[in-house]
């Protein structure tokens, strides 16, 4: 086991005056939100779709290594959670496009904040 060099918490009275832990219902809400965006390819899909609507084939080309089945499953989950919109067009051959919903767009600042947090603490983060 390696020695971790984790910095101790600095207590600033102004920063956390009156801080309390979240209510149990808030923990459940947080878990629900995390489950909605975690999955083998979900964050990658959301980050690609921020550029605009894409067809399934284009999404698959931009995600080397994803199987058709896995991409279908992840897109279905994202759509069921209201993060992605699936639009099917009555054409021959059928055309289906995926794009971020407003909920997906609103998720981007949170992902940026998580990225910034990761960059700040990446030296102490481990992958299990």
* DSSP strands (E only) in the chain: 54-55, 84-89, 95-100
Please choose, from the candidates 23, 64, 8, the residue with its C-alpha nearest in 3D space to the C-alpha of residue 41: 64
Tell me, what's the pLDDT at 94? 87
* DSSP strands (E only) in 27-110: 54-55, 84-89, 95-100
Please choose, from the candidates 94, 89, 110, 95, the residue with its C-alpha nearest in 3D space to the C-alpha of residue 46: 110
The pLDDT tens digits of the residues spanning 38-51 come to 988 999 999 999 99
What 3-state DSSP class applies to 89?
A: strand
Tell me, what's the pLDDT at 14? 65
The pLDDT tens digits of the residues spanning 72-97 come to 999 999 999 999 999 999 989 889 99
Residue 101 corresponds to which tokens in the numbers above? 């919903």
């Amino acid at each position: 086991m390696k020695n971790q060099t984790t910095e101790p918490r600095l207590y600033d009275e102004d920063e956390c005056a009156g801080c309390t832990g979240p209510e149990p219902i808030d923990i459940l809400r947080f878990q629900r939100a995390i489950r909605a965006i975690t999955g083998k390819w979900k964050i990658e899909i959301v980050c690609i779709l921020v550029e605009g609507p894409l067809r399934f084939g284009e999404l698959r080309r931009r995600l080397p290594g994803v199987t058709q089945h896995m991409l279908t499953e992840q897109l279905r989950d994202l759509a069921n959670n209201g993060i992605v919109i699936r639009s099917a067009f009555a054409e021959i051959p059928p055309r289906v496009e995926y794009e971020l919903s407003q909920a997906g767009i609103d998720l981007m600042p949170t992902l940026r904040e998580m990225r910034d947090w990761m960059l700040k603490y990446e030296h102490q983060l481990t992958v299990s």
